[in-house]
Amino acid sequence: MMSGFSLAILAGVLISLQSVFNTKVNENVGQWLTTACVLGIGLISSIVFYIITENSISIKVYTTNYLFYVSGLFGIGLIICIMIAIKNLGPAYTVLISLITQLVVALSIDTFGLFGMESVPLQINKLVGIGLLIFGVGIFKNIFSNKRAIRITEDEI
Instruction: Give the list of residues 6+ apart from residue 113 with CB closer than 8 angstroms, or none.
Output: 119, 120
- In a domain, residue 3? The reply is no
Domain match, 73 and 40 both: yes
Measure the CA–CA gap between 10 and 101, rounded to whole angstroms: 19
Domain match, 79 and 132 both: no
Domain match, 42 and 56 both: yes
Domains in the chain, number: 2
- In a domain, residue 113? The reply is yes
Between 37-41, 57-61, 128-132, 135-139, the lowest mean confidence (pLDDT) is in 57-61
Question: Model confidence over 8-26: pLDDT tens digits?
Answer: 888 888 988 899 899 999 9
What is the radius of gyration, based on Cα positions, of the chain? 20
- In a domain, residue 105? The reply is yes
- In a domain, residue 112? The reply is yes
Domain match, 17 and 57 both: yes
Q: How many CA atoms lie within 13 A of 65 on its CB side?
A: 5
Q: What is the pTM of this model?
A: 0.72
- In a domain, residue 155? The reply is no
Domain match, 78 and 95 both: no
Domain match, 79 and 96 both: no
Confidence of residue 116 (pLDDT cuts 50, 70, 90): confident
